Amino acid sequence: MTSSQAPSLYNEPDAIELAPIGLKYDSATSSAIQSLAASSHHNGVSLTSAGAGDVEGAPSFPIDSSRGDEDANPAISAAQKAVQRRKRMINLATLCFDVFLNGWNDATAGPLLPRIQAYYGIGFAIVSLIFVSSAVGFITGAFLNVYLTDRYGFGKVIVLGSTLQCIAYALVAPAGPFPLMCVAYALVGFGLSLQNAHYNAFVASSKDYASTKIGILLASYGLGAFVAPLVSTQFAQQKHWSYYFLISSVMYALNSALLWIVFRGKRQDEIKAEADDLSPQQEVVQSNKYKQIFRIREVHILSLFALLYVGTEVTIGGWTVSYVQETRNGSSDAGYISSGFFAGMTLGRIFLMWLNDKIGERRALFIYALLAIVLEVTVWVVPSLIENGVAVAFIGLLLGPMYPILVHHSTHILPRWLLTGCMGYISSIGQTGSAVLPFLTGLLASKFGIASLQPFIVSMMSVMMVVWALVPRVRHVPT
């Protein structure tokens, strides 16, 4: 091509196709492209590929129509990128605080269960109804979540969920009749379901470092679950134990305000576009979302695993304190064992991420589950308060990475356009486990004693491994 035939980078109205799709560049071609890209960038032109991470692509040169601003454009672009990066960090930090409070909620019951039983004069089976109420609310919210999201969008729905929890805790604080507490926990479950699906899907669909961000997000859950028993254990020893829920109510009021200030009631795609956080594969609007979700076999397998995992986690965190107090002669300070469990969970979600990547997430989960079963058996057979406390903490460490692995794995085997709805369904079934398994534990404890807790947990962990074996390996995600 002669110089007269060569296209001008400034005169072409559209992007110039450097190479057709499917062309594989050799080293010489690659060097030439890099040189041309550097030259183009100096003149206010950017070189972009067909898709992030593509080996074979069709790079093109978007042309800036304002030739006189060519020296200023790179500076503007850099400033815009800095703003977008800051927005992504603020979005993640805001959701981490929301998840922190959800962890706070889930770990509250453990140290307070014995006090609630004593205050209302009820047994294991009746007190377990608060778990059932929470699950009923969660399932109701999960089924309404798709409709609410389509109608009002991410920003409004997640604030609604947080506000409902604020109201629910305010109802519990006066220590009114036990049925009122059950109604309040139904509101808690409803609010949790609206938040749970959204923050998981929002972070899982991040453009960059999705796996790491999921780990950080869910580590925030573990941190909240670690702090809550430290506080609730102190209130469990006080006359006005229910005032603990005033703290929860105030924190959720602050959370609602923060969510509104940061996301301003906008829809997810709008928020992500402002922060340049849209994944390469966009979610598109589809009709009959419910039918599409229910027809996906993988969704039901993942949901069953979530049911067993979340149920086991909440059962350990909620009933271990009662178990230790009755079988190991522990005092009210046994509530700190629950904190140890959730502290281990937090550390596992942060410090085991490298191991997940090294050996593969699917294999890692099998190893964690097997080791957790072994440790749970020691809690069952070793009559030592200290050993039991240490073992429970390490069980938390091993269980910690499992839910982040589940969420990240879901993004690789579920359709992108249904991800929010799928995560809502999976989360709702998981939350069902948080009611069903602790409730069954209460029934077993009423009939056979609290010592039945450990064989029940070991059985659930074993079934959990079998279900994970049915989860498909990573494959191409439908778009």
Question: How would residue 245 be classed by pLDDT, with cut points 50, 70 and 90?
Answer: very high
Most confident of 27-36, 282-291, 325-334, 354-363: 354-363
> What is the per-residue pLDDT for 260?
96
Q: How confident is the model at residue 261 (pLDDT cuts 50, 70, 90)?
A: very high
Specify the pLDDT at position 27: 45
Mean of the per-residue pLDDT values of the chain: 79
The C-alpha atoms of residue 80 and residue 215 are separated, in whole angstroms, by 27
133 touches 182 (CB < 8 A) = yes
> What pLDDT sits at residue 416?
75
**Three-state DSSP string of 126-145:** HHCHHHHHHHHHHHHHHHHH
**Confidence class for position 198, pLDDT limits 50, 70, 90:** confident
18-27, 33-42, 182-191, range with greatest mean pLDDT? 182-191
Contact 319, 438 (CB under 8 A): yes
Among positive and negative, which fits the CA dihedral 449, 451, 456, 459? negative
| Residues 174 and 240: beta-carbon distance below 8 Å | no
Of 376 and 413, the structure prediction assigns the larger pLDDT to 376
Type of residue at 149 = T
Give the closest residue to 426 by CA, choosing from 312, 285, 309: 309
User: Tokens representing 217?
Assistant: 């997000």
Q: pLDDT band at residue 135, thresholds of 50, 70 and 90?
A: confident
Average pLDDT score over residue span 420-428? 78
Q: Which tops the pLDDT comparison, 36 or 194?
A: 194
Q: Where are the domains of the chain?
A: 89-281+289-470
Nearest to 109 by CA among 231, 222, 252: 231
- For the stretch 388-406, pLDDT in tens is 899 999 999 999 999 889 9
Instruction: State the pLDDT at residue 209.
Output: 77
What's the pLDDT score for residue 475? Answer: 60
Per-residue pLDDT band for 455 (boundaries 50, 70, 90) equals very high
Q: Which CATH architecture has domain 89-281+289-470?
A: Up-down Bundle (1.20)
Highest mean pLDDT among 109-113, 269-273, 275-279, 284-288: 269-273
pLDDT at 17 over 70: no
Model pLDDT, residue 10: 36
Whats the size of the chain, residue-wise?
479
Instruction: Give this prediction's pTM.
Output: 0.70
Angle at 86 between CA 85 and CA 92, to 5 degrees: 90
pLDDT surpassing 70 at residue 57? no
Which among 226, 247, 230 is positioned nearest to 106, based on CA atoms?
A: 226
Q: State the SS3 of 12-81.
A: CCCCCECCCCCCCCCHHHHHHHHHHHHHHHHCCCCCECCCCCCCCCCCECCCCCCHHHCCCHHHHHHHHH
Task: State the pLDDT at residue 77.
Answer: 78
* Greater model confidence, 240 or 427: 240
The CA-based angle 172-177-181, given to 5 degrees, is: 40
CA dist., res. 380 & res. 268, Å (int): 46
**Mean pLDDT over residues 152-171, rounded?**
94
CA-closest candidate to residue 216, choices 107, 353, 369:
353
Stated as kind and residue range, the H or E segment containing 250 is helix 244-263
pLDDT digits (tens, 9 = 90+) for 322-377: 888 888 876 667 778 888 898 898 899 888 888 988 898 889 999 999 999 999 99
Binned at pLDDT 50, 70 and 90, residue 28 comes out as very low
What is the token pair recorded at 411? 């993004």
Nearest to 231 by CA among 248, 217, 213, 206: 248
Phi (first) and psi of residue 48, to 5 degrees: -125, 150
